[in-house]
Amino acid sequence: MKIPRMLIAWLLASGVVASASAQVQVQVQEEPYKKGPDSTRKADVPQGTVTKAKWTESKVFPGTVRDYWIYVPKQYDGSQPAALFVAQDGGGFVTEDGAFNAPAVFDNLIHEGAMPVTIGLFLNPGNIPPVEETSKPRSNRSFEYDSLGDLYAKFLIEEVLPEIGKSYKITSDPRQRVICGNSSGGICAFTVAWERPDSFGNVISHIGSFTNIRGGHVYPALIRKAEKKPIRVFLQDGSNDLDNLHGNWPLANQQMAAALKFAGYDYQFVYGEGKHSGRHGGAIFPDTMRWIFRDWKEAK
């Protein structure tokens, strides 16, 4: 079937494809958020490289395969350990005309000094390929992203990062390591830092699914009673986000923000009027990165 170009452009722009959202949205409706100059290529800014690869072995998630992309800034020369940024549903973050265009944002902010030289790891969720070519792969995304516990953290920290570390010098300082995602990828990012604050000290969650897909609605309660963990958290959601069988996204994110505030976390909550898309999170993404790395020079 032929797909109109306009529709593809809209899908990418709105982040429906990029974020592989919990619900396919069928209404074409404008959200009042647009990417700014920091999300666009500038002629005088050194451009990093983005390389696509396939991850095909996992003991934690046996049988899964997934695409991933590595972003390496022009300024990286291997002499110093680089900061680390990891995104779930990574494919949507590296797309040049997607909601985030993370490579361009990183190029601009690194050049400006607003963030350190950072290696980007953009991981897609796993699929179990079918035996019969005529069948579809089975998505492992919900199992990997929505489950609480340390499985995904194990996969990332014990399987993937050591391998990436063979090619790139990456800092072990959690304050210089960021984990990010949208929707289920957002709760996944939080879960990794919650389980392993010694590895990731920064979380960025857009339209995070802190709802009962697989029990993630309990986080606000856990945050309030657990001893504060050394995690900096950025949350974004919109008043028109999902309300479905798993929960109410705007309420869940407000609960998260209230719990982080109560427990004294270094957090920021941006609450707009967006829907379940990457539009708003993408539009403010450069400022989010500025906020996360606001003290990176002091921390060094």
Partner 1 sequence: MRKHLIFSLIGAAGILSAQDMPLAQVLIEGEQWQLLAEGYGFTDACAADTEGNFYFTDVKNGNGIFKLTPEGQVSVWRDGLPGISGLQFGPDRKLYACQGKRERLIRIVPGTGDVEELVTGVRPNDLVVTALGAVYFTETKTQQVHYVSASGEHRVVHQGDIVRPNGISLSPDQGTLIVSDHGGKHVWTFRVESDGSLAFAQPYMTVVTPYGTDESKGDGSTTDAYGRYYVTSEMGLQMFDPTGRLCGVISTPAPKAVSVEFAGPGLAWIYLAADGKIFRRKSASAGVLFQNPPVPALMFGANPR
Binding site for partner 1 (CB under 8 A): 1, 3-4, 7-8, 11, 16-17, 20-24, 26, 28, 61-64, 67, 89, 91, 124, 127-128, 130-132, 134-143, 146-147, 213-215, 244-246
Closer by beta carbon to partner 1, 43 or else 245: 245
* Pairing state between β 232-238 and 202-206: parallel
Least distance from C-beta 99 to partner 1, angstroms? 14
Closer by beta carbon to partner 1, 143 or else 296: 143
Q: What is the residue-wise DSSP string for 207-265?
A: S---STTTTGGGHHHHHHHSPPPS-EEEEEEETTS-EETTEEHHHHHHHHHHHHHHTT-
Closer by beta carbon to partner 1, 180 or else 260: 180
Strand partners, 252: none
Per the CB < 8 A criterion, the answer to whether 47 and 74 are in contact is yes
Closer by beta carbon to partner 1, 146 or else 195: 146
Least distance from C-beta 25 to partner 1, angstroms? 8
Closer by beta carbon to partner 1, 95 or else 255: 95
| Dist. CA 59–CA 226, nearest whole Å | 30
Q: Report which of 98, 114, 148, 110 is spatially closest to residue 281, judged by C-alpha positions.
A: 98
| Dist. CA 68–CA 63, nearest whole Å | 16
Per the CB < 8 A criterion, the answer to whether 21 and 277 are in contact is yes
Least distance from C-beta 26 to partner 1, angstroms? 5
Closer by beta carbon to partner 1, 3 or else 43: 3
Closer by beta carbon to partner 1, 38 or else 195: 195
Phi-psi sector, 215: left (phi>0), alpha (psi -120 to 50), beta: left
Strand partners, 122: 69, 87
Phi-psi sector, 272: left (phi>0), alpha (psi -120 to 50), beta: beta
Least distance from C-beta 58 to partner 1, angstroms? 10
Least distance from C-beta 47 to partner 1, angstroms? 25
Closer by beta carbon to partner 1, 16 or else 84: 16
Least distance from C-beta 24 to partner 1, angstroms? 6
Per the CB < 8 A criterion, the answer to whether 69 and 84 are in contact is no
Strand partners, 178: 85, 202
Least distance from C-beta 165 to partner 1, angstroms? 27
- Write phi, then psi, for 5 (nearest 5 degrees): -55, -40
Per the structure block, which two tokens stand in for 212? 């009962």
| Dist. CA 249–CA 275, nearest whole Å | 10
Least distance from C-beta 189 to partner 1, angstroms? 18
